[in-house]
Amino acid sequence: MSGPLIIPWKGVTPRIASDAFIAPNAVIIGDVEIGSKASIWFSCVLRADVNSIRVGARSNIQDGTVVHCDGPYHDGKGYPTIIGDDVLVGHMVMVHGAILENHAFVGMKACLLNGTVVEGDAMVAAGAMVTGKRIRKGQLWAGSPAKFMRELSEEDIADMRKGPERYVANGQAYREQLG
**Mean pLDDT, all residues of the chain:** 96
Element holding 154 (H helix, E strand):
helix 154-178
* pLDDT for residue 3: 87
| More confidently predicted of 72 and 137 | 137
* Environment class of 59 (CB within 10 Å of its CB; exposed 0-12, middle 13-18, buried 19+): buried
* pLDDT for residue 93: 98
Report d(CA 113, CA 133) in Å as an integer: 9
Structural domains of the chain sorted by starting position, each given as residue range(s) with its CATH number in brackets: 5-178 (2.160.10.10)
Q: Does residue 70 contact residue 114 with C-beta atoms inside 8 Å?
A: yes
**Maximum CA extent, the chain:** 46
Give the percent of the chain with pLDDT over 90: 94
State yes or no: pLDDT of 74 exceeds 80. Answer: no
Number of neighbours of residue 91 by Cβ within 10 angstroms: 17
* pLDDT for residue 2: 80
pTM of the model: 0.96
